Structure 1
Amino acid sequence: MQTEINFDGIIGPSHNYAGLSHGNLAATKNRGLVARPRTAALEGVAKMRGNIALGLAQGILLPHARPDQRWLAGLATDYSAASPLLKAQALSASPMWAANAATVSPAPDTLDRRCHLTVANLVTMPHRSHEWPETLAQLRLAFAHPAFAVHGPVPAPFGDEGAANHMRLAPAHDAPGVEIFVYGDAGSPFPARQHREASEAIARSHGVQQALFVRQSEESIAAGAFHNDVVAVANGRVLFAHEQAFADKDRFYTDLRAALPQVEIVEVPASQIGLEDAIRSYLFNAQLATLPSGEMALIVPVEARAMPNVWNWLEAHIAGNGPIRRLEVVDVRQSMANGGGPACLRLRVVADPATIDPRFLVDAAKLDRIAAIIARHWPEQIAQDELGDPALIRTVEEARRALLEALEIVELIDR
């Protein structure tokens, strides 16, 4: 039976605050802070436990080999000889944000009735541009069944940042829907990371039958919404978005209602929650999920509850009998401080769980085993002046190996 599965990235043992992501205000603001990889990873595990308790299906994606010595070799250096900037870029734990792993088109939307996944090239940021080979290897393991088609990246220079700039609306997860590809244009102080050409190429490659291509507003990018999922999220028949998320929202909403007449658009007015507060709270970088009861829940970070105007709006929506019926609060502060909220940490895949490599699916007992490995092997903290420490590098490498061996996904150890 087709169902939605959230694949969360396990936060890797090299999690640190190097501030590498231009345009991600949280990441640059917190540059140089002491990071706590063990706490970060356990926060992520707790979020997954919460999803399972809500009755949601849960999967995992795994930390990448760090430092990425293959990437450094392509730059004619190695970690010991690299500059401080290259060291930080090679050690980045950014694959934790699984929303940037790939764009996913479920089988009901595609011409060949297979679920298609295209790995994101992430070419805009050097520290992320070397993620795709290992992400692709994981996707090809997890989704090796003929029910899936896994594609390589869109060629550079056309930037593609995966599901963070892609939404899907449908009457039900297993019914045909409309896929919304959100792209950016240059014009703000920060780079537009998703190119329309990349989005169009993915839609063609996947054989998407109903696709809309929508431009993100320049003001939202300038305010720090480096991906669409910082200002909008969709699930089932519901689009939840900020008033200033899209460049031409009236045309978009008209086209969307024509493609899916049942759509419910929940728009948050800028007069009640401005872009700055929406981005600081990560109100929209939330998981909007359909529970087994049929109720729709919004899984938000603690930062959203801490901002009175944001929390008041959410409570008023619930009290007003809107389509979102339940609020769940999760603590992912270590990820948030690096610029990634609950939605950043997960990739949504609609599929039959029986077609997925079971090593990439988790229940409460498996999460307990993962948490024990994290508690034993992940560094307690990493300061920026420690990035060149050989002892830290050994700890990071040994921690990842311990996790992959425990999960019996040894094919990835020497990638």
Structure 2
Amino acid sequence: MRLLWLRNDLRLDDHAGWQALADYQGKTAAVYILPAHWQKTDAAGLHRLGAAKAAYLQQALADLSARLAPFPLTLLQGEPVELLLAWHQQQPFELVTHVAQAPEEAGWLARLCDAGVKVQTFEAQPLFEPEQVAPLLEKFPASFTGFRKKVEKFPAWSVPAPQAAADLGRLQAANCPLTTGFDWPAMPGAPVHPAWQGGETAAQGWLKHYLFERRALAHYKTSRNDLAGRYFSSHLSAALAWSCLSSRTVWHQILEYEQQWGSDEHSYWLRFELLWREYFHWSLRVHGSQLFAAGGLTGKAGLGVFNPEYWQAWCEARTGWPMIDAGLKELMATGFCSNRLRQNLASCFIHELGLDWRLGARFFEQYLVDFDVASNWGNWAYIAGAGHDPRQGRRFNPHRQWRQYDPGLTHLHQWLPELGTVTLKQVEAHQRGERLLDYSAPLLPLEC
């Protein structure tokens, strides 16, 4: 039998795993396993499956099941290796799955191989094939600019075209010998960002709408740093993180947009951001567990001092900095906040509160619907000076940031309506410790 193990590759189009099943002459099955430890709370009070994130995953799996019908998608919950070995013992199979993105997944695959399971892997996330970037992996560029300049020399940037969806009409379904199904965590309301609905069907519809119906890409470079709105950015990150869309599909759809409407700085910049994602992806392949160490890739980042008062206030969005609290409230309620907000949250967490950057990365991992292990950890390391950054860390001036990106306090009023009509100067004064607002005192004055 041949078994396809899905993880964050929840689509049918451009998917080598489904093609491997379609090419097989015998019984086949497909499984998604919800790791039990994702819902276990650690010593810091964190887990890996916030409500909005769980809601998106549930929607994505439901959509995939509907697209596959009548071929069944098996759902299991527990420790992945134990479940797969129990299945293999009762019904031996050849396992097909996408390559490991992080050390945890690599450990899973190694244990399966050591136990005698034949494992066949394929690529599901990157733009480029491994052989294309192989010369870079021997001495990986220390900066994104170095990486970008090299890959842009590839002929036509040579991003392979996405493959057509496999013909699954002849699949012969095998029955799972284990107890199937799993319990979703309590998700009261479980709101997700209004531009997002989980699954390949919704993702394909949004991509078409964003590029060709709304033509919102026409202002992408100008608006991408905004804090609120439906069209200020592409909002493709969740679909890419769970691979409801392949990055190659998005890339080539942008090229098609350029053929119709012409290329400009806006269309280039969205491809530029896909290259950032690609850079973090291959960096994690090269550096592995080093990225998750206190010093990160540089070995120079400070560990930070755990302050329980600061940490609790952060987790409850009551730092006393209204602009930061508004971002935290949005993140915890919707599973999303803008890239500009993420950078400012990380900067305040690391450089103002002095907390361990890895704790902040884990906080984001719990809540972000679009959590991508390489991009999330790579960006936090970047801000902390533990990653690919020649400046050894980025510290943002929060007052200057909000003057530039939310001068009318649109985002603040949306997430902290209790403040009523306040001015930017009043908010800044409060964050500096002057207590001009009927709002909790800041943990520390923001002097910058």
| Shorter-chain TM-score range | under 0.3
Q: In proportion to residue count, which structure has more helix? A: 2
TM-score, structure 1 as length reference = 0.24
Higher relative contact order (CA closer than 8 Å, sequence separation 6+): 1
Q: In proportion to residue count, which structure has more strand? A: 1
Structure with bigger gyration radius: 2
TM-score, structure 2 as length reference = 0.23
